[in-house]
């Protein structure tokens, strides 16, 4: 029989073992949740959000929230060059109106933008679609540190989206754990992204092609509206209330797309988007429907789009020029005084944008369709062009 001292030692050893085990498990889960839960298809979106949080505190003048139309339609570096204000797209492919508030809350942890630009398109979808899209929300929640605010957000989201539990929103690992073994192969890349930033690409994403005429452009802009379903309107109004309570200046925009009768869903989304602009105005917020100004912006259906819903880098420059001008002249958003190091970063981002533009043009010319988005690998390629290599040489590694 062990005496008391021995028993005490044994108990201490066992307690340490149990605590070590629990810590190892918790540590492993936290690590995997951070680096290995997000599917590859969302890696660029995840990088974009990650890089936003790498931006120096309170240096973003304009925050753009929305879906793929936002990141393909607006270039922060180009807007900075043209108008002097800093901006960043908090944009996730397929994002709906349920992501607006969590995305804004996530951003407000580090930034206090003078203007929030919201893409209304995400509020115009059918209710079933809005309720079924949860991966975008997991992406946002994965970025959000554990806090009472996160738990509150999770509860709210679980009421708006189907098949989502509040627990899995707080701990996305519960939902995404099955991806971890697959993502293990890309751990090195994910860790490199974590070390990278602030990024000179400023969240930009584009696809290197011009539009193939799969659709006939036979529909035009209309100011007609279509009512939102009750639940979606609730989500929109809740977001508007939140913006009011935070005393934020908000601009609702509709990015211009190529309209066609062959896509009645998209036409319906446009009618609902018009309704969202109406609702926003009830709260005293401004809206800008760029669909109406399609030709004024100078957009060309074939040249400036990579598909009927998204502008390529050519269209992106035109939309950025138009929207940037509106932000600067109509909304009077003045650029924040940046300190030298931050200004240097933004100046560098302009160089990177032009290099990326030339790379994109080269790839379009060569007929190589590539998704170019926020990642250390793309930044490295673009840097080669900045350092004097020709876009054609860099384009060689891309196969389309």
Partner 1 sequence: MALTSLPFAIFAIITGIIYFVYPKKEQRWVILLIASCFFYLYNSFRYAAFIVVTILTIYFAAVKMDDISVETRKTVREKKAEWSKEEKKAFKDAAAGRKKKILALTLILNFGILFLLKYFNFMSGSIAALVGVSPESAPQIRLLLPLGISFYTFIATGYLIDVYRETVKPERNLFKFALFVSFFPQIIQGPISQYGKLHDQLIEPHDLEWINFKQGIMNITWGLFKKLVIADCSWKAIKAYYANGGINGSGDFAGYGGTMVLFITLLYALQLYTDFSGGIDISRGICRVLGIDLEVNFRQPYFSRSISEYWRRWHISLGAWMKNYVFYPIAMSEFSKRVTRAIASSSFGKTPVGKHISKVFMTAVASFIVFLFVGIWHGANSKYIAFGVWNGLIIMLSAMLGPVYAGSRKALHINENAAWWKLFQMLRTFVIVLVGYVFDIADNFTNAMQMMYLTLTDQNVGAFLSELPSLGMRKVEYLAVMCSAMLVLYISIRLEQTKIDTPAELLERRSGLIQWICLFGLIMLILLIGAYGPAYDPAEFVYMQF
List residues near partner 1 by CB under 8 A.
14, 17, 21, 24-25, 28-29, 32, 134, 163-165, 167-168, 173-178, 180-182
* Minimum CB distance to partner 1, residue 378 (Å): 28
Which string of DSSP letters, residue by residue, matches 159-221? HHSTT--HHHHHSTHHHHGGGHHHHGGGHHHHHHHHH--S-TTTT--EES-PPP--S------
CA torsion angle for 54, 90, 70, 303 (degrees, to 10)? 20
- Minimum CB distance to partner 1 smaller for 39 or for 56: 39
Token pair listed for 68: 């793929």
Max Cα separation, the chain?
91
Exposed / middle / buried, residue 353 (Cβ in 10 Å: 0-12, 13-18, 19+): buried
- Minimum CB distance to partner 1 smaller for 14 or for 365: 14
Closest by CA position to 322, among listed 288, 274, 280: 288
Exposed / middle / buried, residue 228 (Cβ in 10 Å: 0-12, 13-18, 19+): buried
Using an 8 Å Cβ cutoff, are 93 and 227 in contact? no
- Minimum CB distance to partner 1 smaller for 140 or for 355: 140
Token pair listed for 346: 């933004």
Q: Coil, strand or helix: which one is 289?
A: strand
* Minimum CB distance to partner 1, residue 96 (Å): 18
- Minimum CB distance to partner 1 smaller for 6 or for 396: 6
* Minimum CB distance to partner 1, residue 17 (Å): 6
CA torsion angle for 262, 268, 270, 274 (degrees, to 10)? 160
* Minimum CB distance to partner 1, residue 278 (Å): 35
- Minimum CB distance to partner 1 smaller for 21 or for 344: 21
Sheet holding 115-119, edge to edge: 87-91, 62-66, 115-119, 250-254, 286-289
- Minimum CB distance to partner 1 smaller for 76 or for 142: 142
* Minimum CB distance to partner 1, residue 181 (Å): 6
How many angstroms separate the Cα of 13 from the Cα of each of 3, 10, 100, 102, 227?
15, 5, 50, 44, 66
* Minimum CB distance to partner 1, residue 295 (Å): 45
* Minimum CB distance to partner 1, residue 133 (Å): 13
* Minimum CB distance to partner 1, residue 182 (Å): 6
Token pair listed for 183: 């993502």
Closest by CA position to 200, among listed 396, 397, 379, 38: 379
- Minimum CB distance to partner 1 smaller for 157 or for 333: 157
- Minimum CB distance to partner 1 smaller for 104 or for 137: 137
- Minimum CB distance to partner 1 smaller for 186 or for 300: 186
Task: Quote the radius of gyration of the chain (alpha carbons, Å).
Answer: 23
Using an 8 Å Cβ cutoff, are 252 and 272 in contact? no
- Minimum CB distance to partner 1 smaller for 14 or for 152: 14
* Minimum CB distance to partner 1, residue 180 (Å): 5
* Minimum CB distance to partner 1, residue 389 (Å): 39
- Minimum CB distance to partner 1 smaller for 24 or for 344: 24
For helices 230-245 and 264-282, what crossing angle results, to 10°?
40
* Minimum CB distance to partner 1, residue 117 (Å): 31
């Amino acid at each position: 029989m062990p005496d008391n001292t021995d028993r005490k030692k044994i108990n201490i050893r066992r307690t340490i073992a149990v605590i070590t085990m629990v810590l190892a498990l918790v540590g492993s889960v936290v690590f995997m949740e951070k680096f290995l839960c997000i599917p590859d298809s969302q890696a660029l979106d995840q990088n974009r959000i990650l890089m936003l949080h790498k931006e120096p505190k309170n240096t973003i003048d304009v925050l753009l929230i929305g879906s793929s139309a936002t990141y393909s339609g607006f270039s922060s570096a180009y807007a900075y060059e043209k108008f002097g204000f800093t901006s960043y797209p908090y944009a996730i492919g397929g994002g709906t109106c349920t992501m607006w508030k969590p995305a804004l809350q996530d951003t407000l942890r580090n930034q206090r933008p003078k203007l929030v630009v919201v893409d209304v398109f995400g509020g115009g979808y059918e209710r079933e679609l809005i309720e079924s899209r949860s991966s975008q929300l997991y992406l946002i929640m994965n970025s959000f540190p554990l806090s009472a605010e996160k738990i509150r957000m999770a509860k709210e989201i679980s009421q708006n989206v189907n098949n989502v539990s509040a627990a899995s929103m707080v701990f996305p690992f519960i939902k995404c754990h099955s991806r971890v073994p697959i993502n293990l192969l890309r751990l090195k890349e994910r860790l490199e992204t974590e070390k990278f930033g602030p990024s000179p690409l400023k969240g930009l994403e584009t696809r290197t092609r011009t539009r193939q005429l799969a659709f006939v452009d036979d529909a035009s802009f209309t100011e007609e509206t279509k009512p939102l379903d009750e639940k979606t309107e609730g989500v929109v109004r809740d977001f508007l209330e939140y913006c009011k309570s935070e005393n934020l200046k908000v601009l609702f925009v509709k990015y211009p797309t190529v309209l066609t009768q062959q896509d009645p869903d998209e036409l319906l989304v446009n009618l609902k988007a018009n309704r969202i602009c109406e609702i926003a105005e009830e709260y005293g917020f401004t809206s800008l429907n760029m669909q109406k100004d399609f030709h004024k912006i100078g957009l060309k259906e074939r040249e400036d789009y990579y598909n009927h819903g998204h502008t390529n880098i050519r269209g992106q420059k035109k939309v950025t020029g138009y929207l940037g001008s509106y932000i600067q002249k109509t909304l009077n958003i003045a650029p924040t005084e940046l300190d030298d190091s931050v200004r240097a970063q933004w100046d560098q981002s302009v160089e990177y944008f032009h290099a990326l533009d030339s790379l994109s043009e080269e790839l379009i010319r060569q007929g190589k369709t590539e998704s170019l988005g926020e990642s250390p690998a793309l930044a490295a390629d673009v840097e080669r062009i900045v350092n004097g290599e020709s876009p054609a040489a860099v384009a060689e590694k891309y196969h389309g």
